[in-house]
Amino acid sequence: ALERRIDELRAVGFEPVRVFVEEHSSLIGRRVELQIGRDRVGGVATAIGPAGGLVLRTGTVEKEYCLGEVTRVLSWETAE
- For residues 31 and 74, the answer to whether their CB atoms sit within 8 Å is yes
| Residue boundaries of the structural domains of the chain | 2-76
**Tens-binned pLDDT, residue by residue, of the chain (80 aa):** 889 888 988 999 999 889 999 999 999 999 999 999 999 999 999 999 999 999 999 999 999 999 999 999 988 765 44
- For residues 17 and 9, the answer to whether their CB atoms sit within 8 Å is yes
- For residues 65 and 36, the answer to whether their CB atoms sit within 8 Å is yes
pTM: 0.82
Which numeric CATH code is attached to 2-76?
2.30.30.100
